[in-house]
Amino acid sequence: MTNYWPWWAGAGGLALVTITHTLATDRSFGVSSAWDRVLHWREERKIERLNDSFINEDALAEALAAATAEHMRTRPGAPASAEVAGAAPLERDSAPAAAESTPVAIARPTPVVVEAALLVSIFLGGLIAAFASGRFKLRFDMGSGFSDIVTANPVVMVCVLFVGGVLVGFGTRLAGGCSSGHGLSGCGRLRPVSLLATAVFFGTAVVVSFLLWKVI
Amino acid sequence: MRTRGAILAGNVVAGLMLGFTVANIGFGDYTQLNRMFTFQDLRMLFSFAGAVAILIVVFALLRVRRTPGRIHAGVVPGAVMFGAGWAISGGCPAIPIVQLATGYLPALITIAGIAVGIRLCRWANGKYFRLDRGSCGL
């Protein structure tokens, strides 16, 4: 069954997904990093707790500074200019710093549970599409294309899928991104590293696909 | 700075949209994927390239920050491994999830492989490569 979307609908859909995620989260969209963090959830939770403690320390320091400023302001005989010289510049300095700290590279990591929610949501979105389009069908193969082009042998299929999965998992983390992180978010931002990675993984997939189709 | 709730909502909505879109484009269908990579059918290729073109324009108009990103020693070999794995298994990190949702049960094996590969990469990087790889999120 090939009642798939025309190219322009697909392009609009993929772009809309990336824009929605970027605007809602102020972060780049990356599925492989979500996998990475969910699979290492114990380590990631430790880091989150450590970050939380730092934030608490920052909040404590800010509270102490505010209390000191308040004390200086209410102290009898304290010059009014002291608070202007002491407190106000702190605010002026901190505002741009906060604005500059929002870039994706400096923003706090997304909580692991939120990354897990992304993966579950992808499954649910796919499930809705499969039922809505009538494509849902439980099967123990990967379809006629895989059987014709790669292998029809179930044992070989299991080995190929596993090895392919390992290559995908290892490769995306080594390259620092996948088709959504480098391909959509990175290329959309014209990041050189993403343009290079996308050209290489797409080119490699073309070569291997031709080998599977014509040679093997 | 976004709140935790906004980030969660953004991830859930984007995840639902991604799963729905990827399934309806046909990225979960190995036949379609191989036809894209062998240029027999340019529909999915145009979908991806068209999305990138739209994003370049929209991100420029919205002045979305362009983080620098560093080309390190792992980019090219990692991308080669990813491209080869995608071509033979039909799955990038999101696609096997969609394949499973469509009823392709062997996609579980691809997911297991991805999990092993990701854990192996973090272990190997910590022990041998010691690369500052960044991530999709950078």
- Alpha-carbon B52 to chain mean position: 13
Query: Under an 8 A CB cutoff, do A140 and B106 touch?
Result: yes
According to the model, what pLDDT value does residue A79 have? 46
Phi then psi for residue A160, to 5 deg, are -65, -45
Which residues in chain A are contacts of B134 at CB distance < 8 A?
176-177, 193
pLDDT tens profile B2-59: 788 889 999 999 999 999 999 999 999 999 999 999 999 999 999 999 999 999 999 9
Q: Is B17 on the interface with A (CB under 8 A)?
A: yes
- Give DSSP secondary structure letters for B24-82: HHTTT-HHHHHHHHTTS--HHHHHHHHHHHHHHHHHHHHT---------TTHHHHHHHH
Q: Is B121 on the interface with A (CB under 8 A)?
A: yes
Q: pTM to 2 decimals?
A: 0.82
Interface ipTM: 0.93
- Which candidate from A11, A170, A175 shows the least CB-CB separation from B50? A11
According to the model, what pLDDT value does residue A3 have? 87
Q: Is B57 on the interface with A (CB under 8 A)?
A: no
Q: Which of B30, B118, B121, B131 to mutate to test the interface with A (most CBs of A within 10 A)?
A: B118
pLDDT tens profile A99-152: 333 344 446 778 899 999 999 999 999 999 999 999 999 999 999 999 999 999
- The mean of the pLDDT values for chain B is 91
